[in-house]
Amino acid sequence: MGASTMRSLRLLLPVMILGVCHAGWAQSPTYGLGRTPSAEEIRAWDIAISPTGKELPPGSGTAKEGAQLYAQKCAACHGASGSGGKAPTLIRSKSTSTASAPGNEQPCLAPCVREGNVMALHSPYATTIWDYINRGMPFLQEGMLKPNEVYGLTAFLLYKNGVIQEDDVLDAQTLPQIKMPNRDGYAIPEWKPGMPRPFSAKP
Amino acid sequence: MIHGMVDRPLEFTMEELKRFPSVSRIHFIECLGNHSKPEYKTVQETHGLTSCSEWTGVPLSLLLKEVGVQKGAAWVVSEGSEEVKGAGSIRLAKAMDDCLVCYGQNGEALRPQQGFPLRLVVPGFEGIYNTKWLRRIKVVDRYYMTYNDYGHIQKDEEIAALTFQWGPKSVITFPSRYLPAHWPGLVRRRRRSQGGSIHRRRPDLEGGPDSGGGTSKGAHPVWHGLEVGRTRVCTPVALHRRTGPGSTDASATRQTL
């Protein structure tokens, strides 16, 4: 048991090491490898937000609060109006193209950022937006946003794209209930190992 | 770290992962965006967003058995540790099938751009599932609609299924655009309307497979029969430029690229 906790080389990135003994000495039964992470460690890592919203932390925000944050933290890359910056368009409007500014196109995102398809709106669930802002934005300063700020920015983007009202309060309960425009726009096919790929008579 | 709907959430160091039994397998990884566009001219452009390596690592199924997957689990979310921490949902059935948690590529450690020190290889599924800089697997009961997921959703179930499981593809890489064949002895049979005589010619491959690039000049890429001795070999070539009804401009066929 002691040997694994005294391992000196930790190359797994990024690892939250508390440096104290943890309750629960479970290890992998067959090979005796691994350590049990604490509940706090798991909570800190558990940033994938289910469409049910069960991993959402406490907090709340509105579009008004988000507007200020957007100007401070997002506009530099995404454009003051939500488009025309070097980063993908976030706010759809009739007059703006939904592609990144010419010369700044990112080839991998191009298939998803088409006319009328503002990236953030394509998800059937608003939790995806919260998840992504929280885990990855602002680019190169990830992790600086507090939950309230993420709720505010999510509310701001949803308001500007016509999904919610300006005064709607987003929190862990209301966010998962938002009905996104593309709510029914996906199918999850069945998949089992070895099954043939399903082709009907369609060309 | 592997956690979620498991009996024993566990965190492994790289050293420990290398102590598990490992396998080495050769797999392609291909991007969903690997398809042709009208402006593409070469095979590299039309089919190039793919690569093949020998991957070395621990079967994910082995790790999942070690943590003990609970009843009711149906999906896993695999997450990377880069800036945006790209994460995607994968069916548990696939995770328990042939996914690999890899640290080796072609006999050496993963390269940084390939996800050093750890990545997931999901054989036969579209590229984005092959999470790089892997740091966490969460076992869950539903599709999580992550950022990686929603960019590739399809309303049609059949089309959606094709992102889960690629089929075989084939393309002729040589001869192709900018890679003409310079084989002595190949001759081109003239079209029958010109009388059927055989001329020695170096075939210039103006068009390549999938390309419509010749049409702007008036030549049409077609599958054309060439005779090598008495053997018929088919290869895509450009037709002669038409200078008049029933005639061909022989000089056009000697264009070099």
First to last CA, chain B: 54
Q: What is the mean pLDDT of residues A12-27?
A: 48
Q: How far is A165 from chain B (nearest CA, A)?
A: 24
- Report the candidate in B52, B142, B202 with the shortest Cα–Cα distance to residue A48: B142
User: Cβ separation of A189 and B8 shorter than 8 Å?
Assistant: no
Looking at per-residue confidence, does B172 or B224 come out higher?
A: B172
Give the pLDDT confidence score for residue B224 in this predicted structure: 35
pLDDT exceeds cutoff 60 at A4? no
pLDDT tens figures, B236-256: 333 333 333 333 333 333 322
Q: How far is A62 from chain B (nearest CA, A)?
A: 22
Integer angstrom CA distances of residue B191 from B175, B181, B195:
22, 21, 7
Give A18's contacts in chain B (Cβ within 8 Å).
none
Q: How far is B253 from chain A (nearest CA, A)?
A: 36
Percent of chain B with pLDDT over 70: 71
Residues 115-144 of A with CB under 8 A from B: 119, 122-125, 127-128, 131-132, 135-136, 139-140, 142
Give the pLDDT confidence score for residue A158 in this predicted structure: 94
Residues 147-186 of A with CB under 8 A from B: 184-186
The whole-angstrom separation of Cα A109 and Cα A100 is 9
Among A42, A119, A187, select the one facing B156 at the smallest CB separation: A187
- Which of the four pLDDT bands, split at 50, 70 and 90, describes residue A190? confident
Mention every residue, 6+ apart, whose C-beta is less than 8 A from residue B253. B188, B201, B203, B204, B238, B240
pLDDT tens figures, B132-169: 999 999 999 999 999 888 878 888 888 888 778 877 77
Give the pLDDT confidence score for residue A175 in this predicted structure: 96
User: Cβ separation of A128 and B146 shorter than 8 Å?
Assistant: yes
DSSP for residue A72: I
pLDDT exceeds cutoff 90 at B184? no
Q: How far is B132 from chain A (nearest CA, A)?
A: 12
pLDDT exceeds cutoff 80 at A161? yes
Min mean pLDDT across A162-171, B166-175, B231-240 is at B231-240
pLDDT tens figures, B54-89: 999 999 999 999 999 999 999 999 999 999 999 999
Give the pLDDT confidence score for residue B160 in this predicted structure: 84
Q: How far is A97 from chain B (nearest CA, A)?
A: 18
ipTM of the complex, rounded to two decimals = 0.77
pLDDT tens figures, A94-124: 654 444 445 544 444 444 545 445 777 888 9
Looking at per-residue confidence, does A100 or B34 come out higher?
A: B34
pLDDT tens figures, B203-222: 443 333 333 322 222 222 33
Q: Any CB–CB contact under 8 A between B129 and chain A?
A: no
Among B1, B94, B161, select the one facing A197 at the smallest CB separation: B161
Are A51 and A176 in contact by the 8 Å Cβ rule? The answer is: yes
Percent of chain B with pLDDT over 90: 47
- Which of the four pLDDT bands, split at 50, 70 and 90, describes residue B52? very high
Residues 32-51 of B with CB under 8 A from A: 32-33
pTM of the model: 0.74
pLDDT exceeds cutoff 80 at A44? yes
User: Cβ separation of B16 and A34 shorter than 8 Å?
Assistant: yes
Alpha-carbon dihedral A99, A101, A102, A108, rounded to 10 degrees = -50
Q: What is the mean pLDDT of residues B5-27?
A: 96
Give the pLDDT confidence score for residue A117 in this predicted structure: 54
pLDDT exceeds cutoff 50 at B98? yes
pLDDT exceeds cutoff 80 at B4? yes
Give the pLDDT confidence score for residue A3 in this predicted structure: 52
Residues 43-102 of B with CB under 8 A from A: 63, 65-67, 77, 79, 81, 83-85, 87, 91, 93-94, 97-98
pLDDT exceeds cutoff 80 at B188? no
Among B12, B16, B133, select the one facing A13 at the smallest CB separation: B133
User: Cβ separation of A191 and B93 shorter than 8 Å?
Assistant: yes
User: Cβ separation of B1 and A26 shorter than 8 Å?
Assistant: no
DSSP symbols for A92-151: --SSS-SSPPTT---TTTTTTS-TT--GGGGSS-THHHHHHHHHH-STTSTT---HHHHH
Are B220 and B206 in contact by the 8 Å Cβ rule? The answer is: no
3-state helix/strand/coil string of B122-186: CCCCCHHHCCCCEEEEEEECCCCCCHHHHCCCCCCHHHHHHHHCCCCCCCCCCCECCECCCCCCE
